[in-house]
A and B are shown apart, each in its own frame.
Chain A
Amino acid sequence: MSRRVRLALFAFAGPGLLAVLLIGLHGLPAFGHYRNVYGLLVDKVEPGLRHATDIVTALNFDIRAFDTLGEEFILFASVAGVAVLLRHLRGEEEAEQARGIEDHRFAGASPSLQLTSLILIPLLFALGAYLLLHGQLTPGGGFQAGVVLAAGPLAILLAGRYFALKRMAPESALELVESVGAGGYALIGLGGLIFATVYLKNFLPVGHQGTILSAGMMPINSIAVGLEVAGAFLVTWTEFFDQALIVER
């Protein structure tokens, strides 16, 4: 479709969409005048029920645990989709050996950028591990921690050591981490089915509020999701960087 056709279509459909958008927004409660009961009920009940202090994580891994399972598999499927789309096609060769590239350096990657990246790597891992283990207590949890953990290896790339990263974390290992995380979450749910008669229902002691080993199975769910997210992001990035740095037509 040419640009002109697109713009003409938008000029036709745009006003209608705008009208529907304004009507929809008009029906929302005024900002600050929250009217639902469900959210407030969760705020009241959940901390006492599971001894978690971060109610968002509690929702994610307890009340909405089944939705999180679906979300996890959306992530899993889309990473598989990226891997399929960016597979090495016939006629494309890997230029790594051919060119004897050892490192990749971004144009203008200065020593100060490399040094900063090296300093960042341990800090990112520490922050990621902290977020992963304290998800039920303070803001954090598997999804956020997974992204931060995946950013650690990304800093290795920024430091210009892409092929060092490939050797350290080959794609098969990343895929294994991702699968263990996704499958682990589903298996934890089976524990609920066996010991609490409901899939993904909490079956572990809820512990003492405010400690790492509290909130039942939330920390374990969080670790499983963290592994999956970190693996998924690293597989995706690796696929894209392979396209940019290795694959030659």
Chain B
Amino acid sequence: MSFLPYVIAAWLFVVGLWGVVSSTNLIRTVISLTVVQSSTYLVLLGVGYRTGGKAPIVADIPTSSKLVDPVVQVLVLTDIVIEATVTALLLALVVQAHKRFGSIRPSDLRALRD
């Protein structure tokens, strides 16, 4: 099953996107977006994997061992940091939307509807 990680990544992407589109609650929208983003982790790590490769940490294995690509792992780390910050910013916007409109239903955001 050499394509299974990509299938799961595509599934996470579509499910998360459906969550964003069909959401009736802004917090659910934000969480769905993190589901979409988690699919990118799977794609990145899947691309960098070599069959039989070990984690790129040579503290207790010889440097000549077969290792996986460390670059994509660093990109995933960046990805996670960005996801955390974007989530925090979006949730702050939700807090303000709730203050302003007294609701976190997307359809109640009057400034967007007018």
Residue of A29, A55, A78, A143 near B67 (CB, 8 A) is A55
Q: How many residues of B contact A (CB 8 A)?
A: 57
The verdict on A95 contacting chain B, using a C-beta distance below 8 Å, is no
Residue of B5, B22, B95 near A243 (CB, 8 A) is B95
**Size category, A interface:** 35 or more
Q: When each residue 54-74 of chain B gets 1 if its CB lies under 8 Å from chain A and 0 otherwise, what string results?
A: 011111000100011111111
Q: Which residue of A lies closest to B18 (CB)?
A: A10
Residues of A within 8 A of B72 (CB): 39
Tell me the minimal C-beta distance from A161 to chain B in angstroms: 23
Residues of A within 8 A of B31 (CB): none
Q: Which residue of A lies closest to B93 (CB)?
A: A85
Q: Which residue of A lies closest to B67 (CB)?
A: A43
Q: When each residue 222-248 of chain A gets 1 if its CB lies under 8 Å from chain B and 0 otherwise, what string results?
A: 000000010001001001100100000
Residue of A18, A79, A82, A143 near B14 (CB, 8 A) is A18
Check A143–B81 contact: CB distance below 8 A: yes
Seed contacts A1-B106, A47-B58, A71-B82; 7 additional CB < 8 Å A-B pairs: A21-B10, A25-B6, A48-B63, A78-B88, A79-B88, A89-B99, A139-B57
The interface of chain B, by Cβ under 8 A from chain A, is: 1-6, 9-10, 13-14, 17-18, 21-22, 24, 43, 46-51, 53, 55-59, 63, 67-74, 77-78, 80-82, 84-86, 88-89, 91-93, 95-96, 99, 106-107, 112-113
- A-B contacts, 16 of them at CB < 8 A, read A2-B113, A21-B10, A21-B13, A25-B9, A28-B46, A29-B47, A39-B68, A43-B56, A44-B63, A56-B74, A59-B71, A59-B74, A81-B92, A82-B92, A229-B81, A240-B88
Closest 9 CB pairs of A and B: A39-B69, A32-B51, A78-B85, A55-B56, A85-B92, A53-B59, A30-B2, A34-B50, A10-B21
